[in-house]
Structure 1
């Protein structure tokens, strides 16, 4: 099993930090066989995000990662790369490098076509980065020719229109890089290649058929081949969310492995269940499996599987693990939003938790794991609360798995659960939010029936609920208009933003962007343009409110968490449940 390279925003400047070391050490301690560190830029021209590692600065950090992982038997590979035209000039303040001056479809920047001295500097940068990594004691290097890489841009007809030898033979640069890295690695170390084998742009890009030809040429040059897909035109294809079935790269990987001539091949692509990974190995799809997001959700995944314990599930939501954006938030996970630290001893403490949603379940789980005698009171007939509401959205079904795992853990730890019981207080109060008046998105997801006629989904939040409810209603044959004050529907969807808008368009959902809902009644809703104030009318039989609910109520003296305090995301609710458990245990015993 691999823990693959991913952006973390854990760096100190452009070096790996102690937080990196702890991040990787947790997965090594959890049983992961191969840990691949965050991709480090091999040349100063590449500064794709603020805390992007630079290979020249990573030597001490790589050494610390190796020292932390080696006692657990894990191999450590240092990932090296250059993002080229898919980077940004905001930090380096220089033109982006690329094979040709083709405007990038994501950044819209026009890069500079690399001259031979630039190419030579790039190859030398890979060699120099490898020497730094070897001196740090790593077990090998992974060369990035994946979705965001400059090396992929040289391989692709989408971005390489050169008239020289690097255009006539688009794989030439990658071969030169691999030769330079191999020469700097020396004997006894692994050379891995992360290779985009489908750009999802068949008119000019790398196709599976072309990738097979590349693999026949490149596989003998490496020791490990990780099969990925994606490009600037399909950035979400690398790690898509729950709208794409897990294991979507299975057929592509199988065909690549057949062409690899015995070089071990790694299956990558939303593999989040250990049983599915085992089936891929048993079925000859691959020789190893990358499970990055699954190990972000449960750092001890391998250890749990070996012990026969349930694994904390990855929800495939991409809400906290994809952190390459303007917020620079550190890598996290909805299911495991912070590294769990030892709790104060709770033995002899009796604690009541009111509310069995994600915040209450997490609080009860941690309190019980610390030895406290915990009673959990939930007014509904099942545990999970808002997790089940989220799970009703398209592509979010795995949130129900998270609810099931949390409920199973509190049962395993001996928490006494009272369902169908209204709480009359508690040490930790997580009793949820109050619903707004009218028809809400949560009510629709719970099965509320709507009157016939056009539906207006009012989405002031830009979160998954608005887009998801609009998709569901359109799929049920309803005429739907989605109204948002933002310039694009689902502004807070991150990596799903583009695919979500494509789904809405295919479903026939009318999107009224940069719009304010003024009134609705008698079959008509009145909207105003956010910038000009110009009013217009749209048909509307019912308004579905996808805005946040109202805060709940936390009695004096109780520790509140989740929607009882303020409308929260699942990640925030789980995190606050942890903090509430710690706060209760930190109080003096009664």
Structure 2
């Protein structure tokens, strides 16, 4: 199928070609989306200021080339005083970027919609230094900031802002717009009894949305697509929008005859993390909700399923079962921009998996990180980094030492470029720390990236040698034979010295990864203390895992809340809820200082006060150390991942790729000692 300016020679009444349902076209008000996969709006931090930048254009164009049927750009604020995060686009500044994007996706026929919204009382005054505006003066559950109640002139300005933004988008060549009434949106705040306490005409909770949709349709005309992202369950049934309320709202809004597409989402002021949760929430969690809303829409509008739709089989099933007309697979296409192309070619097994970890793709925080992906670090960096695929003119023999994610990615990239690669792993399985850590509720999915890397290495002809411990002498032999080397030897447990007050019944001390590898039976009977000086996901996962195995567990952390770094993935509040529900006792603002007869001694990090808690086994979840024995024997050898400094899978995959591309580009030669530890270079 060929498409020009979003229109196709295929008519809306033409039969769809045989093949995967995901890859079949979808008519949308005279436009034909080339597939039924939507790439939804999300924060990216790709703006240069408050625009749609060249980085946005390259990011979206890559997904269009990979087969996305509908793309909704990052939601742009419709008034200048709405500035919810530092690099949030402003519709008035987005015209040139939207125009560049329309031109970039032209060859692919993708239907591109401009995301338009207003954050209302869930925004931020940090950047605008202006009051927040909302339906009623109800403080936000997260920021605790109290907004002012919108008056009629403010409401009129917002309606006008939606219309002006929509007009600008279609003048730029986009196929239409999506209006945001999702978990962080002002329109949803008007819909909800949680935040709309008005006594005037806007006590009719759909009134503002009707005014916005009417104004936007008038601005874009009858030939352009108008979509609505609608929160259909705020997960606060005492006063919020429930699925039953949402069905009534959809019936009313669809009856206006203005809408072409409805994206069904969930979440509200008390449940924003429920919008794009981690793997602790099962994929396609909105299936039943979407099916009910689609029934309420009664064929008057196309309906999209959103909610951790990351696996092609699940997406196909949702379409086949009539749950939705299309599926939003946003994080899945961050992980693999070619998802639809691979499914269309019958190679769904080659789709790089989304781990639902939110580690690199959730970027709405004050560090302003660029959107990316643990498994595909080029995502978000399309303007800076060249594609990995290609064939090098001077193929080489390469030895990669270590079969964790860094070594596997290095081997995969080199083999894909025509090099002859041998991967030596001292253990009996590939995957390193990532596979070992893929244990317990919500963490099993981590192993999918390892499985994918292993399968790709096999497909590309990498020779894998398990149980092979490489020596420094072998490195010398390899170099003498012209074989290049990359070290990815991983990490080792740190030697923790917990002073013992007595030895008779001192607690068993176990390293976290040793426990994960061996299982709960490694621990002696009795209470378990999980010591988490890092504040990351490993200790929380181990505590949940042990509690599920029936153990009495206490989690000791130096912070005011357990797993403090989980705030970056949106899992902080859910994780603490799960710990409480599992019966894990949280010993906060403390560190383990001593071990004694059947107990450990905790020290308050603020006051220095000490106390004892019972302990038969202590699980140490502190930082590990690099396994650098080979590197110290052969300084200057390129290295990647935990053998440089133990961090996360994101850094391991990124550095494995960088070392591979650096090696592929240079002539055979020794490199400087700094080459293995640098942070720059291609992704």
Partner in structure 2 of residue 398 of structure 1:
445
Give the one of 599, 604, 629 matched to 1:524: 599
Determine whether 1:139 maps to 2:163.
Answer: no
Deviation string 1:416-453 (CA, Å, 9 cap, x unpaired) is 11111112346110011011244111122112410111
SS at match of 2:571: helix
The match for 1:439 is: 510
CA distance in 1, matches of 2:76, 2:571: 25
Q: What's the offset of the Cα at 1:116?
A: 0.6
- In structure 2, the gaps of 5 or more residues are 1-36, 380-384, 476-483, 496-508, 670-683
| Other-structure match for 1:113 | 149
Aligned-residue offset at 1:394 = 2.1
- Structure 2 residue aligned with 1:371: 418
Counterpart contact for 1:266–1:289, Cα < 8 Å: yes
Residue 83 of structure 1: aligned partner: 119
1:392 aligns to what SS in structure 2?
coil
Match in the other structure for 2:433: 386
Which residue in the other structure is 2:538 paired with? Answer: 465
**Is 2:138 the partner of 1:98?**
no
Q: Deviations over 1:256-285 (max 9, x none)?
A: 001102111000000111111111111100
Q: In 2, distance between residues paired with 1:313 and 1:407?
A: 13
Q: d(CA) in 2 for partners of 1:312 and 1:548?
A: 29
Query: Residue by residue, what CA displacement relative to the aligned partner does 1:448-481 show, whole Å, maximum 9, x if unpaired?
Result: 4101111111101111101010111111121111
2:443–2:541: 8 Å Cα contact kept in structure 1? no
Partners of 2:437 and 2:263 in 1: CA distance: 33
**CA deviation digits over 1:114-139, x for unaligned, max 9?**
01111001101101111111111100
Correspondent of 2:208 among 173, 179, 193: 173
Residue 559 (structure 1) aligns with = 638
Deviation (angstroms), 1:505 = 0.7
SS at match of 2:239: coil
Alpha-carbon deviation of 1:530?
1.1
The reply to whether residue 18 of structure 1 matches residue 18 of structure 2 is no
Q: Which of these two proteins has the greater Rg computed from alpha carbons? A: 2
1:476 to 541, 549, 552: 549
Alignment of 1:404-553 (within 5 A): 404-424=451-471, 425=475, 427-437=485-495, 438-448=509-519, 449-493=522-566, 494=568, 495-553=570-628
Say yes or no: does 1:265 pair with 2:271. Answer: no
Give yes or no for contact 1:346–1:367 (8 Å, CA) kept in 2: no
Q: Deviations along 1:291-321, whole A, 9 cap, x unmatched?
A: 0000000000001112222110000111111
Tell me the distance in 1 between the aligned counterparts of 2:335 and 2:470. 31
User: What SS is found at the alignment partner of 2:314?
Assistant: helix
Distance 1:244 1:471 in 2: 15
CA distance in 1, matches of 2:587, 2:640: 35
Provide the C-alpha distance between the structure 2 equivalents of 1:406 and 1:421, rounded to a whole number of angstroms: 19
Q: Is contact 2:115-2:177 (8 Å) kept?
A: yes
The question of 1:350 aligning with 2:397 is answered yes
Give unmatched runs, 5+ long, in structure 1: none
Q: Does residue 334 of the first structure (1) align with residue 392 of the second (2)? A: no
Q: 1:346: Cα distance to partner?
A: 5.6
Map of 2:357 onto structure 1: 317
The two structures have a TM-score, normalised by structure 1, of 0.98
3-state secondary structure, aligned to 2:418: coil
Q: RMSD between aligned alpha carbons?
A: 1.2
